[in-house]
Amino acid sequence: MMRLPRLEDLPLEEGARVLVRADFNVPLREGHIEDDLRIVTVEPTLAYLLERRARVVACGHLGRPKGVADPQYSMAPVATRLGHVLGADVALAPGVVGAEVDAAVKALAPGRVLLLENLRFDAGETANDPAFAVALSALGECYVNEAFGVSHRAHASIVGPPQTLPCAAGRLLEREVEELGRLLDNPRSPFVAILGGAKVSDKLGVIRALLQRCDAIIVGGAMAFTFLVAQGAEVGASLVEPDMVDECRELLATGQVHIPVDVVVAERIEADAPTRIVGARSIPGGWMGLDIGPGSAAIFVDLLGEARTVLWNGPMGVFEVEPFAAGTRAVAEAVAECRGFTVVGGGDSAAAVREMGLADRIDHVSTGGGASLELIEAGDLPGLQALREGRAA
């Protein structure tokens, strides 16, 4: 896989200001962090910098505040949790860029961390505004990208700083590229990919890319129903993308794509809704498929049992609601049992294996769902390209 500049390549004199772009987009409920994985995983990189007495200016985004300051998306909870992880207070800057932020950075002592406010409070972040990128870059003397989960976005904080600052990949980003690269560079066969989620259109590109590498692709989740319609099935009120039916028919013709043979159906997505298990090709009118059935799960588990390389991205159903969780649970357990190299590609699948206590039995659980799929599809990401083409240390 591609070589990226490493932390060891940076000119880190004591007191050097290092701008670290992390992926701090953690799930919040009523101001409390529900899952701190994205904070915990940045610790090795920050520890390396702090041991060398760098002055760390960390930054990231939270939610979608749409270019304006919004208190509900403040980075304050992240600063508090990051402080607990590091065992030292993390100060929160009074903004993203500007005179007050410049003053806070200037006052930062060696071996300490300052966290900028939400990058997306400034519209220049997602617009990749050159002026915003310049102002942000001015806060550091070196730059580290530790935000794999956002590196498929050509945003200002991702692609701007490497143009002017000595740059490097953080430990997490480096490991993500290395582990996901094993899926691209001569993966062991049989290679089985499991894809779920709502829309075929969201994953059409990665399906086509995986067909060049995989022996089998298992399709579950709501997107399976568009494939079923392509076979002439009756799918009731299940989600379908009519403009993707022809594409699905072509994919099925490869013989590599496996879709459900039975499904769990209900008339509403609620824990107390009456359910049935029916053949996937004959869902009653008004009922919708919300999980794969036990017959499908058994077929998929058998395929995974023979696999020597596995990629899983996307649940098999609405696993957050218990009556529709069995399919995702069966697949998660089969991936954990697999003797081959296993990767869970972020997002809901990563959440599922963590909730089920299976994460430590997966070889690599990615922190970036969309980024992992785009890397597999395109073989590169804007953030990685920016590091490779950036200013040498």
Asked whether the beta carbons of 42 and 80 are under 8 A apart, the reply is: no
Q: Is the pTM of this model over 0.85?
A: yes
Query: Is 370 a residue of the active site?
Result: yes
| Amino acid (1-letter code) at residue 299 | I
Q: Domain coordinates of the chain in residue numbers? A: 7-174+380-389, 189-339
- Which stretches does DSSP call E strand in the chain? 17-22, 28-29, 32-33, 55-59, 90-92, 113-115, 142-146, 167-169, 191-195, 216-219, 234-235, 257-258, 262-266, 275-279, 282-283, 288-292, 309-313, 341-344, 364-365
CATH fold of 7-174+380-389 reads: Rossmann fold (3.40.50)
Same fold, 7-174+380-389 and 189-339: yes
pLDDT in tens, 260-311: 999 999 999 999 999 999 999 999 999 999 999 999 999 999 999 999 999 9
pLDDT in tens, 184-211: 988 999 999 999 988 999 999 999 999 9
Q: Is 254 exposed, middle or buried (0-12, 13-18, 19+ CB in 10 A)?
A: exposed
Pick the CATH number of 189-339 from 3.40.50.1260, 3.40.47.10, 3.90.226.10, 2.40.30.10: 3.40.50.1260
pLDDT of the residue at 393? 65
- pLDDT per residue, tens digit, the chain (393 aa), is 678 999 999 999 999 999 999 999 998 888 889 889 899 999 999 999 999 999 999 999 999 998 999 999 999 999 999 999 999 999 999 999 999 999 999 999 999 999 999 999 999 999 999 999 999 999 999 999 999 999 999 999 999 999 999 999 999 999 999 999 999 988 999 999 999 988 999 999 999 999 999 999 999 999 999 999 999 999 999 999 999 999 999 999 999 999 999 999 999 999 999 999 999 999 999 999 999 999 999 999 999 999 999 999 999 999 999 999 999 999 999 999 999 999 998 778 888 898 899 999 999 999 888 899 999 999 999 999 999 999 766
**Sheet containing 262-266, strands listed edge to edge, beginning at the edge strand earlier in sequence:** 275-279, 262-266, 288-292
Query: Is 196 a residue of the active site?
Result: no
Asked whether the beta carbons of 312 and 331 are under 8 A apart, the reply is: yes
Query: Is 64 a residue of the active site?
Result: no
pLDDT of the residue at 182? 92
Query: Is 87 a residue of the active site?
Result: no
Choice among 53, 199, 208, 388 that is catalytic: 199
Alpha-carbon gap, residue 318 to 47, rounded angstroms: 38
Choice among 327, 368, 370, 390 that is catalytic: 370
Choice among 21, 38, 120, 329 that is catalytic: 38
Distances (CA, A) of 204 to 196, 207, 213, 263, 310: 12, 5, 15, 22, 19
Choice among 140, 221, 293, 347 that is catalytic: 347
Beta carbons within 8 Å of 273's beta carbon, 6+ residues apart: 266, 267, 323
